[in-house]
A and B are shown apart, each in its own frame.
Chain A
Amino acid sequence: MFDLNVKGSSFDNNLILAKQASIYGWKHINFSYTQNEYDDALSFKKDLEDNLEDVIDIDYTLLIESNNPSEIRKIVRKYRKKSSCISVLGGDLKVNRTSLENIQIDVLSKPYLKRYDSGLNHVLAKEAKDNNVAVELVFSDVLKSYLTHRSKILANFRDIYKLHKKYDFPLILSSGAESVFDLRTVKDFQAVFTQSGLSELEVKNSFKTSENILKFNKDRKNMILSGVRVVD
């Protein structure tokens, strides 16, 4: 029950969100901040962790919002050691491609954003698989849209599921919640994605993928090459 993208804001808001998420059955949530807010948010991370010690595990995700591929690379290099998860907001084809080709990026979030298609094809799907970059689908996009727009987003989700089933790239599902009104119980969250075409096993695997990303990044400093790790 891992959620890597809950929108982070002030200390108090994060506290309310984390407590509610814990009541609804989530085990771990990551608050996401953009590159401009990330440094400020780090200042109260320790307090937040202390307050929520017995309630829920929390961490931060860096959400890179930029349309410039070279700027994205620069930001990733700057923050790689500071953050447990780096995610890039997709939508632009160039951004989608550079994110999926970069092994240092963990997640490509919303590749379908402001597009008429899913933003992924078989070439990008293979790249995602080779570089182990996860594609993130956000529940709040479905929640906050309605009628035609909602059905188009669900259609984009289905296109991504199809590629995921064929090319087996890592897929993660997250809530993208900004307030308590956007949070749902884990079972409800799973039900929405199973209704839109994923199997229950695939939904559970997506939670495992999120967990694996965090585990992998904890060990990242001990990695010499991919697959080779220093053991004391």
Chain B
Amino acid sequence: MKLKVLPKSQRKHNHYLVLDIKSEEELTKNDFTSIVWDACVRFQGENNTSNFNLWTIELIDKDNISFFNEYNAILRCQRDFEDEVRSSLALVNNYNRNKISITCIGISGTIKGCSKFI
């Protein structure tokens, strides 16, 4: 049996981060998710990370014009914890011994609103 959806007032409030990702290696959505979780658990700890309500909405491949792969991503996180997630992701610098950089280029209350940053 499926659980009934919570009333709107009792649901968690989410914000969506638009991320700019540069990587030497090609990334999949699963790779990206594990990078995000690993970064948050490392920098903020297990207890704090449990508040973030992280979920990868989308990983978008951009046209490669230089020596690295470039992606945009939309990441869901709980309202009021944006700074914690941002700082954790800003401190990612390698994945599988390849250089990677993740930085937040926009933030929105809806997924639709993220499109103006991409």
Interface residues, chain A, with chain B CB atoms under 8 Å away: 24, 142-144, 146-147, 150, 179-185, 187-189, 191-192, 194-195
Contacts and interface: CB of A to CB of B under 8 A. Distances in A.
Interface string B57-91: 00000000000100000000000000110110111
B104 A188 contact: yes
B101 A183 contact: yes
Interface residues of B, number: 19
Interface in B1-29: 20, 22
A181 B86 contact: no
B89 A188 contact: yes
A180 B90 contact: no
Contacts of A179: 99
- Identify which of A188, A189, A194 gathers the most chain B CB atoms within 10 Å of its CB: A188
Contacts of A142: 91
B103 A183 contact: yes
Contact of B22 (A144, A181, A185): A181
Contacts of B84: 195
Given A24-B103, A143-B93, A185-B103, A180 B87 contact: no
Contacts of A150: 91
B22 A187 contact: no
B54 to A, nearest CB: 16
Contacts of A182: 93, 101
A150 B87 CA distance: 14
Q: Which 9 pairs show the lowest CB-CB distances between chains A and B? A: A188-B90, A191-B87, A191-B86, A195-B87, A181-B101, A192-B87, A191-B83, A181-B99, A184-B103
B41 interface: no
A12 to B, nearest CB: 12
B93 A180 contact: no
A189 B90 contact: yes
A146 B92 CA distance: 10
Given A180-B22, A185-B104, A185-B105, A191 B99 contact: no
B35 interface: no
Contacts of B105: 24, 185
B100 interface: yes
B14 to A, nearest CB: 18
14 contacts: A24-B103, A146-B42, A179-B99, A180-B22, A180-B68, A180-B101, A182-B93, A184-B103, A185-B20, A188-B89, A188-B103, A192-B91, A194-B87, A195-B43
A191 B87 CA distance: 5
Nearest to B92: A143
Given A182-B101, A194-B83, 4 more contacts: A143-B91, A180-B68, A191-B87, A192-B87
Contact of B90 (A144, A147, A191): A191
A188 B18 CA distance: 12
A151 to B, nearest CB: 10
